[in-house]
Amino acid sequence: MSTSSRPSGAVVVIGSGISGMQSALDLAEAGFKVYVVERGPAVAGHMPMLDKTFPTNDCSMCILSPRVADLGRHHNIEVLTLTEVTGLDGEPGDFTLSLYRHPRYVDESRCVSCGRCEQVCPREVPGEFNQGLAPRKAIYKPYAQAFPNAYVIDPQACVRCGACAEKCARKAIDHEMQGQKRQIRAGAVILSPGFELFDPVSRPELGYGRFPNVVTSLQFERILSASGPYEGHLVRPSDGREPRRVAWLQCVGSREPRSGINYCSAVCCMYATKEAMVAREHSPGLETAIFYMDMRAYGKGFEQYYRRAREEYGVRYVPCVISEIKEVPGSRNLLLRYRDSGGAFREEEFDLVVLSAGMRPARGSGELAGVLGVELDGSGYCRHEEFNPVVTSRPGVYASGTFAGPRDIPETVTAASAAAGYVSRLLSAARHSETRVKEYPPERDVHREPPRVGVFVCNCGINIG
């Protein structure tokens, strides 16, 4: 750290998934100015796409929404969406980050998210949030509760017809909006760029992309979700019919040395178990089977969760590796061929097959590591100290979430708070040096007024809020 000047009391958090949000909120509450740099048009990463979370089966958005709201309204957090880091200079306590913010083509300060622009847009493309199961317009809102609460134009899809601009009463749309360069001084950087799922198209024997009733685990989350393309009804993509038998195939893109993926993705066993349980709740007569190599239920409450799925929900666990999936002509059902534990070949027919896709480093994380001078391991994840999984090869730059390796949500949140703790220690001398105090409206005497008390309680899973 520079001895010639006081360290900066600002921190840059790169990535705004649950990990980035946790780090940002911890640091802002600890007395630091926080810049959240997000390359996408909205915060929160993959978590809004999930229906429920294991092992409590709480609604994902019930957990996430309060954090998104806190992030958006915190007076010491500035969120920069559609922004990339293009350079990092300096030393711990005195970094200078160069940023480039891509145009949104919609003025966030003017947009009220009424949706009239989307209604008149003539251009449709596959929607990322629903994993291609439903289209979105060229001008769109990433998801219903998105922050910033504003629309964005996809320049690759937009035909510049001007219909949206004509419909916008707030004059928020600007097709000529330009990108902006910016530099920020910060004392430390936290990297939480997230992850992406393995693309099963590279496994043609599994039929993904060829058979419509073979879906990924994240697509199945969108099928189950009430905010998804089927409004929470468990149906097949091919014909909208409710399936009677659903199979999950584990370790698709995990523990595959032939594909160069030698690691376990840590979450697949449990999220498949969760999806099978929730699917049974949607359709009580549903038959569910999970085809797995090894069951890895190592977290707190995970073993009990696994036993509950097997004993209370009737989820069948089959130890094997599926060698091939074939489509049945006419019905579009799927035929699974495998060798059982006794060595005999068997075939089973299912209405729907879910591929439990493993985690991979986020697209662009390698380039980001190069820009920041951070070393990666052989799998593309951040190389960190053996007993300090948030400490990277560059002093003052810390890793959080799945940038350091596959993690579930609780472990990700723990790592995010750990990274914030390291930063707080590094920049303790600069605490409160760049923050501003929240101003409250003046108090008034209400003792003569009738009491106004509201009690609002909702529950989801075992969560009460």
pLDDT-based confidence at residue 386 (cuts at 50, 70, 90): confident
Cα distance between residue 278 and residue 228, in whole Å: 15
pLDDT-based confidence at residue 465 (cuts at 50, 70, 90): low
Higher pLDDT, 435 or 257: 435
Q: Flag whether pLDDT at 462 surpasses 90.
A: no
Give the pLDDT score at 342: 82
Cα distance between residue 192 and residue 17, in whole Å: 8
Q: What angle do CA 54, 60, 63 make, to 5 degrees?
A: 105
**Using one digit for the tens of pLDDT, what is the confidence trace for 362-372?**
999 999 999 99
Determine what percent of the chain falls in helix, strand and coil, rounding each to the nearest 5.
Answer: 25, 25, 50
Higher pLDDT, 356 or 459: 356
Least confident of 13-27, 300-314, 325-339, 435-449: 435-449
Give the pLDDT score at 216: 98
Q: Flag whether pLDDT at 464 surpasses 80.
A: no
**Using one digit for the tens of pLDDT, what is the confidence trace for 374-383?**
999 999 999 9
**Would you kindly state where each structural domain of the chain is located, as residue ranges?**
10-102+179-194+362-430, 198-359
167-206 exposure pattern, b = at least 16 Cβ within 10 A, e = fewer: bbeeebbbeeeeeeeeebebbbbbbbbbbbbbebeebeeb
Question: What is the CATH T-level fold of the domain 198-359, as seen in this structure?
Answer: FAD/NAD(P)-binding domain (3.50.50)
The pair of structure tokens assigned to 191 is 């990297």
Q: What angle do CA 37, 39, 44 make, to 5 degrees?
A: 75
Mean per-residue pLDDT of the chain = 95
The CATH code for residues 10-102+179-194+362-430 is 3.50.50.60
- Cis status, amide bond into 148, omega within 30 of 0: yes
Shared fold status for 10-102+179-194+362-430 and 198-359 = yes
Q: What's the rounded mean pLDDT across residues 87-107?
A: 98
Least confident of 42-46, 256-260, 294-298, 422-426: 256-260
Cα distance between residue 108 and residue 150, in whole Å: 6
Q: Flag whether pLDDT at 83 surpasses 50.
A: yes
Give the pLDDT score at 260: 79
Give the pLDDT score at 461: 58
Q: Chain centroid to CA 465: how far?
A: 22
pLDDT-based confidence at residue 440 (cuts at 50, 70, 90): confident
> Read out DSSP for 377-424?
-TTSSBP-BTTBTTB-SSTTEEE-GGGSS---HHHHHHHHHHHHHHHH
Q: What angle do CA 115, 110, 72 make, to 5 degrees?
A: 90
Least confident of 368-382, 410-424, 439-453: 439-453
Cα distance between residue 16 and residue 18, in whole Å: 7
Q: Flag whether pLDDT at 287 surpasses 60.
A: yes
Give the pLDDT score at 114: 97
Q: What's the rounded mean pLDDT across residues 78-85?
A: 98
Q: What's the rounded mean pLDDT across residues 384-411?
A: 95
Phi, psi (deg, nearest 5) at residue 327? -95, 135
| % of the chain at pLDDT higher than 70 | 97
pLDDT-based confidence at residue 3 (cuts at 50, 70, 90): very low
Nearest to 117 by CA among 177, 162, 176: 162
Give the pLDDT score at 1: 53
Residues sharing a CB contact under 8 Å with residue 184, sequence separation 6 or more, in sequence order: 10, 12, 35, 96, 97, 99
Nearest to 228 by CA among 139, 131, 120, 121: 131
Residues sharing a CB contact under 8 Å with residue 277, sequence separation 6 or more, in sequence order: 57, 308, 309, 313, 315
**Using one digit for the tens of pLDDT, what is the confidence trace for 327-371?**
999 999 999 999 888 888 899 999 999 999 999 999 999 999 999
User: SS3 of 84, please?
Assistant: strand
Q: Flag whether pLDDT at 323 surpasses 90.
A: no
Give the pLDDT score at 344: 86
